[in-house]
């Protein structure tokens, strides 16, 4: 019993692939009991079959569905109680998707779903599990972009990143008396299958969008496709994000933000400039991208 009390349980969202998968594996191999949440039973089975006793899949957790958030939270409470854990030590909010589209052509159903996955869902989850985090004097981690600067055609991803930034920092203030940390993990380009999925979605969308609207953006999008292909070659191994997350969970005095991944340093540097300067630089950049794509 005493031994179990010394172990720390951490919930990870989006454990089926990419950053969430690597983080779940790494934490489970490095001393944490990982409550690895996934949407699909097949992913839960795959994780269970890995045979790591520290990796415990929970499903279904689709963050757009409040009833699943509630039932998973209840299952987690029951599990932690039955195993005599001292509360929940961490929530690592990773799940997310996103698309490339000009705002004029954005699929607003998908945007709504992304807002639920990245913002509302994690807040509901937090509301259910905060008493357990309090018990453990735990930490809440949020994956987001390295810089709060406008990113044309990445609105659903970056609008969520801005909101995540706001929530993570506000939570830090609201919980400052309780010994709970709210930490931003600011990621640059990470080498997962998600960029390819996003690019495939863009190609499909471009074949469906009405040409009378698409024509205004097509040269820039064509050029960006080339730039993204180059960018994708330099993306960072997701294992490095997993290591940073492990640090954020284990350092005695954690920072309120960590940065990792390709171009994250440059993006964070750009964020330091006044907003009109950033807007001016980006306007030039996207005007040039449009010219180059013609
Ligand atoms: N890759 C990058 O360069 C990068 C950079 C900065 C930030 N990020 C952020 O990091 C997160 C993970 O990205 P990734 O590259 O690892 O992507 P990924 O490999 O596509 O993984 C996305 C994960 O989120 C899950 N997910 C999606 N919608 C969900 C929902 N409604 N409810 C619960 N789970 C859901 C997916 O589950 P299914 O398998 O069931 O779809 C999957 O496990 C995203 O939030 C992304 O914005 C990524």
- What does the pLDDT look like over 101-141, one tens digit per residue? 999 999 999 999 999 999 999 999 999 999 999 999 999 99
Tens-digit pLDDT profile for residues 186-221: 999 999 999 999 999 999 999 999 999 999 999 999
187 Cβ inside 6 Å of ligand 1: yes
Residue holding tokens 């506000």?
170
237 neighbors 191 (Cβ within 8 angstroms)? yes
**Looking at residue 249, what is its pLDDT?**
98
| Coil, helix or strand at residue 14 | coil
Q: What are residue 206's DSSP bridge partners?
A: none
Q: How far is the CA of 164 from the centre of ligand 1 (A)?
A: 14
Q: How much of the chain, in percent, has pLDDT values that exceed 70?
A: 97
pTM of the model: 0.96
pLDDT at 286 over 70: yes
Q: Round to whole Å and give the CA distance between 176 and 213.
A: 48
Q: Give the residue whose CA is nearest to atom 36 of ligand 1.
A: 14
63 Cβ inside 6 Å of ligand 1: yes
Residue 137 neighbours by CB under 8 Å, 6+ apart:
87, 178, 179, 180
Q: Which residues of 188-214 are buried (b: 16+ CB within 10 A; e: fewer)?
A: bbbbbebbeebeebbeebbeebeeeeb
Neighbours of 128 (CB within 10 A): 17
pLDDT at 171 over 50: yes
Q: Which of 186, 194, 239 to mutate to test the pocket of ligand 1 (most atoms within 8 A of CB)?
A: 194
**Looking at residue 293, what is its pLDDT?**
63
The mean pLDDT value of the chain amounts to 95
Q: Which of 21, 42, 92, 97 to mutate to test the pocket of ligand 1 (most atoms within 8 A of CB)?
A: 97
Neighbours of 3 (CB within 10 A): 7
Q: Round to whole Å and give the CA distance between 178 and 108.
A: 38
**Looking at residue 292, what is its pLDDT?**
67
Identify the structural domains of the chain with CATH numbers, from first to last: 2-292 (3.40.50.720)
Backbone dihedral region for residue 37 (phi beyond 0: left; psi -120 to 50: alpha; all else: beta): beta
Q: Round to whole Å and give the CA distance between 107 and 139.
A: 34
């Amino acid at each position: 019993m005493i031994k179990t009390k010394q172990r720390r349980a951490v919930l990870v969202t989006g454990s089926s692939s990419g950053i969430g998968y690597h983080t779940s594996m790494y934490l489970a191999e490095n001393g944490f009991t990982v409550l690895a949440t996934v949407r699909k039973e097949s992913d839960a089975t795959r994780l269970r079959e890995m045979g790591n006793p520290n990796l415990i899949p929970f499903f279904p957790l689709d963050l757009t569905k409040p009833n699943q958030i509630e039932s998973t939270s209840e299952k987690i409470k029951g599990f932690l109680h039955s195993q005599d854990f001292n509360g929940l030590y961490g929530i690592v909010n990773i799940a997310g998707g996103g698309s490339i589209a000009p705002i004029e052509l954005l699929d607003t159903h998908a945007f709504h779903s992304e807002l639920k996955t990245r913002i509302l869902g994690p807040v509901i989850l937090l509301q259910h599990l905060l008493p357990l985090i309090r018990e453990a004097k735990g930490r809440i981690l949020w994956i987001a972009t390295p810089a709060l600067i406008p990113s044309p055609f990445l609105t659903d991803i970056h609008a969520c990143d801005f909101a995540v930034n706001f929530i993570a920092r506000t939570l830090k203030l609201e919980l400052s008396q309780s010994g709970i940390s709210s930490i931003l993990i600011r990621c640059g380009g990470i080498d997962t299958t998600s960029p390819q999925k996003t690019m495939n979605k863009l190609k499909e969308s471009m074949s469906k969008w009405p040409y009378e609207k698409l024509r205004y953006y097509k040269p820039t999008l064509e050029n960006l496709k080339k730039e993204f292909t180059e960018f994708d070659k330099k993306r960072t191994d997701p294992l490095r994000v997993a290591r940073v997350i492990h640090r954020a969970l284990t350092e005695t005095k954690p920072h309120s933000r960590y940065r990792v991944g390709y171009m994250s340093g440059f993006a964070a540097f750009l964020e330091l400039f006044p907003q009109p300067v950033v807007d001016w630089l980006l306007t030039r950049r996207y005007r040039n991208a449009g010219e180059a794509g013609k």
